[in-house]
Amino acid sequence: MPLRATDVFTPGSFPVETYVERTGVGLEQMVRDGLETPGQIVSLVGPSKSGKTVLVEKVVGRDQLITITGAGIQHADEIWARVLDWMDAPSTVTKSSLTSGAATLSGSASGSAGIPMLAKATIEGTAGVEIGHERGASTTTVRRGLAQVAKEIAGSDFVVLLDDFHYMPREVQAEAAKSLKEATRLGIKLCTAAVRHRGDDVVRANPELRGRVRAVDLEYWSGADLGKIAASGFHALNVRVNATTAGKLVSESAGSPQLMQQLCLDACFRLEVREALDKRRDLEVSADQMDEIFEQTSATTDFRSLVDVLDAGARTRGTERKAYSFSDGTSGDVYRCVLKAVAADPPRLSFAYEELTRRTQEVCLGESPVGSSIVGTCQQMNNLALAKFPNERAIDWDEQKQVLDLPDPYLVFHLRWSRRLQRVD
C-alpha cells in the first residue's frame, strides 16, 4: 500500500517519516541524560508548538510514554489517578474466598493490562468436596495513587510526562511539586513541559526541587531545520518542490515544526498528492495556489475569540476612536491598525517599537497612529489578553523594553491568513 501524505506529514502526532534532530543542539541526549539520572525531573521549556512532546516521545518511545496534562487538575492526587487511567487500572479490586470444611475454593481478580507490569485479570482457585459448614469472605481495595503507580513502574523504562504543568492553579502546583519530588525518590521517571514564560513553575512551586530539575530549553526552530521536514517528507512522497516554494512554507511556519507539518500536508492536499507517486515528479506551485494553501491552514489556527477581543480594544467612555484608512481598502481604529501591522510581511513573532511604528505607517493610507497611541494600544491589548485568556499568554507587551511579542506562531499565522482583519464591522 502506497505511503499516504497523512502518514508523512503529521501535525497532530509523532512524525515517523519526518522527525528532525535539530542541528547542533543535542536535545535528545539532554533528555536521555536527565531521565537516566536518579531523582531528577526533566523540565522541557519552550514556545507553544515547538515539539516538546515529540522530543520526549522520540527519546522514550511512544509505548513507554505516559502523557497526561495539567489542564483540569485540582489536586495532586489527580496526577496519579490519570496515570492509573492510562494503565487501565480498575478503580477497585475485590478478592474473595469460600471455605468448605478442609477444602478451600478461592479466587482473586485484579486489573486489566495497560502496560506489561500490570497483572492480567486472573482467577486462581482450588476446590475440594467436604460436607460440613461453609464460610465465605471478600475484601475490596481501592486505588492507592502514587504508591500504586510506584509499584507498577518505579525503576522501569516508563516515563510520565506531565504536559502543561502551568495550567494547574498556583496552589495546586505547590502540592503537585511535592508529589513529583516523592515520585522521583520512589524511582519514577518524570518529565514536565511548559511554555517559556512559565518554565520555572515547577521549581517556584517547591524550591526544594532546585538541583533536582534538569531544564531543557527549546527555542523556535531554524529555517534550515524546518526545511528538512519539507525535504524529507516530499522526498518520501516522490515529489520535488522548488526552493522558492519550500522557503515560503518555512517562512510562514515562524519557527514551529507543528505548523510546518500542517502547511506541508495542506500543500499535498491542494496539489492532489495524497499518496506517494509512482514516479518522481516536480511540482510547481503558483502564487494563487500558495495563498489557498495558507488560507486552508488558517482553519487549524483558530484564534477568533482572542482576535475579536484584541480588535475590539478597551472600552471607551463616549469618545469614538479615530479611524484610519488601510492599503487593502478597509478602515479601522488603532487596535485594528496594530493588528494589521503585526500581520504584515514578513512574518515575525517579536516587534520592537521602531519596527511596529514603521509597519503601522506602511499599512495605512495617509495618516497613521502616533507613537504614544501605539504604545498605549499594545499595553491595553496585553491587559485584555491576560484578563480574558490568562492561560494562553499569546501576546505580551514589555513596557520597559518597548517590545511586543506574540510567542505563539499560530496566532501570527491566523492574523495573516484568516482574513479576520479584512472583515468590515
pLDDT of residue 122: 35
Lowest mean pLDDT, pick from 165-169, 264-268, 373-377: 165-169
pLDDT in tens, 286-319: 999 999 999 999 998 889 899 999 999 988 776 7
27-85+149-217: CATH architecture: 3-Layer(aba) Sandwich (3.40)
pLDDT of residue 125: 42
Pairing of strands 103-108, 239-241: unpaired
- Residue 124, pLDDT above cutoff 50: no
pLDDT in tens, 98-122: 555 554 444 444 444 445 555 433 3
pLDDT band per the 50, 70, 90 thresholds, residue 394:
confident
pTM for this entry: 0.80
pLDDT of residue 121: 38
pLDDT in tens, 153-164: 999 999 999 988
pLDDT of residue 200: 63
State the Cα–Cα distance between residues 108 and 95, nearest whole angstrom: 5
- Alpha-carbon Rg for the chain in angstroms: 27
What average pLDDT score do residues 131-159 get?
77
Q: Compute the Cα dihedral for 332, 336, 342, 344 and give only its sign.
A: negative
pLDDT band per the 50, 70, 90 thresholds, residue 376:
very high
pLDDT of residue 110: 41
pLDDT in tens, 84-95: 999 988 877 666
pLDDT of residue 104: 44
pLDDT of residue 95: 64
- Residue 330, pLDDT above cutoff 50: yes
Q: Residue ranges per domain, the chain?
A: 27-85+149-217, 90-142, 227-298, 304-422
Q: Compute the Cα dihedral for 223, 226, 231, 237 and give only its sign.
A: negative
Question: What would the DSSP string read from start to end of 31-63?
Answer: HHHHHHSTT-EEEEE--TTSSHHHHHHHHH-GG
Instruction: Spell out the alpha helix ranges (H) of 299-370.
Output: 304-312, 334-343, 353-363
Lowest mean pLDDT, pick from 71-80, 136-145, 208-217: 136-145
Q: At a CB cut-off of 8 Å and minimum separation 6, what does 235 contact?
A: none
- Residue 256, pLDDT above cutoff 70: yes
Q: First vs last Cα of the chain: how many Å apart?
A: 50
- Residue 123, pLDDT above cutoff 70: no
State the Cα–Cα distance between residues 254 and 302, nearest whole angstrom: 16
pLDDT of residue 138: 59
The helix/strand/coil state of 134 is strand
Lowest mean pLDDT, pick from 18-32, 200-214, 337-351, 369-383: 200-214
State the Cα–Cα distance between residues 216 and 168, nearest whole angstrom: 21
* Mean pLDDT, all residues of the chain: 85
pLDDT of residue 307: 93
